[in-house]
Amino acid sequence: MVSKEQTRRISEAMAILAELAVSLGITNIKDLPACWEYDIDEHWFVAVNANTTVKKTIKGVEVMPYHCYVEFNGWPAAIFNAFGGEFCAGSLANENTFIEAIQKRLDNTLKGANQ
């Protein structure tokens, strides 16, 4: 039987981040000893903890299990999981601009793979 929790839709930020990871050949993040960390561009950094326990980023930030930690220009900008979270709400740094940055990186990654 599928629980109510399992029928919830995944957040757009998590979905596109997963798509980017797959395009980069990143698999089994849950098996990593720490967070998967990635510089999306010169502004955005993300750390993904797919483990069952709290993990620290290289910078020493603790990331809860099954959560993503995001920085914009070195400043904390978001913490979210597959079902939601909190993003900063600046004109340059917000959930939409984070998703746009991932989409741009994804487009460039896919374009490079098709050349």
Determine, yes or no, domain membership for 81: yes
Q: 49-61, pLDDT tens digit by residue? A: 999 999 999 999 9
Q: Is residue 115 in a domain?
A: no
Tokens 């809860």: give the residue.
64
Q: For position 6, what pLDDT does the model report?
A: 55
Residue with tokens 């849950």: 30
* pLDDT tens digits for range 81-94: 999 999 999 999 99
Residue 1 has pLDDT above 60, yes or no: no
Does residue 75 register a pLDDT over 50?
A: yes
Provide the number of structural domains found in the chain: 1
| pTM (predicted TM-score) | 0.88
- Mean pLDDT computed over every residue of the chain: 92
Which domain range does residue 24 map to? 5-106
Show the beta-strand stretches assigned E in 12-104: 36-39, 44-49, 55-56, 62-63, 67-72, 75-81, 84-87
On whether residue 91 sits in a domain, the answer given is: yes
Q: Is residue 80 part of a domain?
A: yes
Q: Does residue 113 sit within a domain?
A: no
Residue 75, domain member (yes or no): yes
Q: In this structure, is residue 112 part of a structural domain?
A: no
Distances from the Cα of 11 to the Cαs of 8, 18, 52, 93, 106, in angstroms? 9, 11, 20, 18, 17
